[in-house]
Amino acid sequence: MDGIIPLYKERGMTSFACVSRLRQILKTRKIGHSGTLDPNVAGVLPICVGNATKVVDYLMQSGKQYQGELLVGFSTTTQDLDGEKIAEKPVEDEIPLEKIKATMEKLTGIITQIPPMYSAVKVNGKKLYEYARAGETVKRPKRQVEIKKFVLLSSKYDGKNKQQRIRFNVECSKGTYIRTLVVELARQLGYPGVMSILTRLKSGGFTLEQTLSLTDIQDAVATQTLQQYMYPLDYALRGYPRIDLQTPQWKKVQNGGWLSPSELNTSKSEIVLLFDGQVKALYHFDAKNKLYKPTKMFAVK
């Protein structure tokens, strides 16, 4: 069984637990996911099965879209509601919509983030959350991410609890921590804050409407209809130019051979190669040798 399943990850489950459950349902260990989702985040989690695990990295290159809520008035150790409260500042007066929008605009574009301590980023071979749980601190690597869109959906002031709830939509590059982004929004507004809810609407080119739940997948396996819901591995490569190989060219590619631009009649930097209607490899142009060489092989038969 080879292909990509756009899974709907339910809130309360880890991404690893989803993969473990799918290994039981599909009776295969060759399963991987693209883009980990925190346990308290729901939404699109593309799952690669069988030979499609080779395109996990390419699925992760596509942008992601989220919808969520920032709760302004206190902060936690984890930047969401799962952590312990570490700071509090009452919102005495409602934060104006225009001020929120202007601050969101400042956080749009290429920005630098420091991953939260409660995250799966590895430092010296150890995940940050392992340091955090042990009460240790460690220098975290800075990373640049792109916030393509950061939009205010609604804002509701709670005068009784002196808090404000800001609902938002974000389109961003891979590697973006939404928790960190919205906590920074709250900080620039002059308050501590936490991400109170988050749903991933889009990832790997899949939308929420395309997803299947674990129950859906289990039912499809039982009725032997799962294949009609799976996407071929080349779905992850749909943005690359494609070239159909002739038999002599395919024989070269089978052995990892290099090809000249004249053989392929192209000048593109990266290309997907097909033979007999099937995706076989991803090649890139080597400027030094002026030849196309393998980036990734997907099949040699």
One domain for residues 131 and 217: no
One domain for residues 131 and 45: no
d(CA 43, CA 38): 10
Mean per-residue pLDDT for 67-91?
Answer: 95
The CATH number given to whatever domain includes residue 268 is 2.30.130.10
Our count of domains for the chain comes to 3
Specify the pLDDT at position 290: 93
Q: Is residue 45 exposed (0-12), middle (13-18) or buried (19+ Cβ within 10 Å)?
A: buried
* Stretch (H or E) spanning 166: strand 163-172
One domain for residues 100 and 133: yes
Specify the pLDDT at position 36: 84
One domain for residues 183 and 69: yes
One domain for residues 172 and 285: no
Specify the pLDDT at position 62: 80
Tokens at 160, concatenated: 């009784």
Q: At which of 186, 215, 235 does a domain end?
A: 235
- Backbone phi and psi for residue 20, each to the nearest 5 degrees, phi listed first: -60, -45
Which residues contact residue 27 at a Cβ distance below 8 angstroms, ignoring those fewer than 6 apart?
none
One domain for residues 288 and 231: no
Selected residue with higher pLDDT from 255 and 161: 161
One domain for residues 261 and 275: yes
Model pLDDT for residues 206-219, shown as the tens digit of each residue: 999 999 999 999 99
One domain for residues 147 and 174: yes
Confidence of residue 139 (pLDDT cuts 50, 70, 90): confident
Query: Alpha-carbon torsion 215, 219, 220, 221, what sign?
Result: positive
Which residues contact residue 124 at a Cβ distance below 8 angstroms, ignoring those fewer than 6 apart?
138
d(CA 255, CA 280): 12
pLDDT at 119 over 80: no
Which residues contact residue 242 at a Cβ distance below 8 angstroms, ignoring those fewer than 6 apart?
271, 272, 273, 274
One domain for residues 52 and 117: no
The CATH number given to whatever domain includes residue 112 is 3.30.2350.10
Specify the pLDDT at position 5: 96
One domain for residues 88 and 104: yes
pLDDT at 267 over 80: yes
Name the CA dihedral angle for 133, 139, 145, 150, rounded to a multiple of 10 degrees: 60
239 touches 282 (CB < 8 A): no
Model pLDDT for residues 6-41, shown as the tens digit of each residue: 999 999 999 999 999 999 999 999 998 887 888 999
One domain for residues 22 and 136: no
Specify the pLDDT at position 280: 93
Mean per-residue pLDDT for 207-233?
Answer: 95
Tell me the catalytic residues: 38
Domain interval for residue 291 = 240-297
Specify the pLDDT at position 10: 95
pTM of this prediction?
0.88
Tokens at 217, concatenated: 């997948």
Mean pLDDT of the chain: 92
Specify the pLDDT at position 47: 95
pLDDT at 118 over 80: no
User: Which of 35-44, 134-143, 144-153, 263-272 bottoms out in mean pLDDT, i.e. has the lowest?
Assistant: 134-143
One domain for residues 217 and 246: no
pLDDT at 239 over 80: yes
